[in-house]
Amino acid sequence: MAPVEAGTREAVIGLRVQPPQQDFVGPAATALADAEHCPGSEPMAILRDGVPIGFYRIERNAAVIAGRDLGPGAFGLRSFFIDAAWQGRGLGTLALEAALADLCRRHAGARLLALTVNCRNHAALALYRGGGFEDSGELYHGGRSGPQHLLLRRLPG
């Protein structure tokens, strides 16, 4: 994991998901451009041997994810994906674990991580539930591809 910088930016922009996933994860170029203009958004590259194989964003204010204040130490996760060429190797699980560890290392006050995932995105739901996220029981209805579950994960600390 590393912040997207000039040396990795073009490789991150070139990352893609499988066609059926495009309803759930927009193009990396769009997410990266948005992150670069949003205060509190940290665009992150998922690296393997120094090469970007995935992307995600950390939001220092979980309200941009949850639509409401989740209290002090609440962060958000969005746009998490592994490039299509690297999928199916268990790297999503490893990357999620590494992203959580990195968040806690870089933000000592992090206590909660929130994300939304489309109700039809069963693979992502399984990944996040396996990573310790719990369904809040709330749905977010502002997504471009339909309703999304609001998932929460308590962080150590």
- Per-residue pLDDT of 66-109, as tens digits, reads 989 999 999 999 999 999 999 999 999 999 999 999 999 999 99
What's the mean pLDDT when you consider all of the chain? 93
Question: What pLDDT does 46 receive?
Answer: 97
DSSP secondary structure letter of residue 82: E
Q: What is the mean pLDDT of residues 57-73?
A: 94
pLDDT surpassing 70 at residue 148: yes
Assess contact for 96 and 55: CB atoms under 8 A.
no
pLDDT surpassing 90 at residue 8: yes
Specify the pTM.
Answer: 0.93
Least confident residue range of 20-24, 31-35, 56-60, 124-128 = 20-24
- Which regions of the chain does DSSP assign to beta strands (E)? 2-3, 41-48, 51-59, 74-82, 112-118, 134-140, 148-154
Question: What pLDDT does 145 receive?
Answer: 73
Question: What pLDDT does 143 receive?
Answer: 66
The C-alpha atoms of residue 74 and residue 69 are separated, in whole angstroms, by: 8
Question: What pLDDT does 140 receive?
Answer: 78
Q: Give me the domains of the chain, ranges plus CATH numbers.
A: 2-154 (3.40.630.30)
Assess contact for 93 and 112: CB atoms under 8 A.
no
pLDDT surpassing 70 at residue 157: no
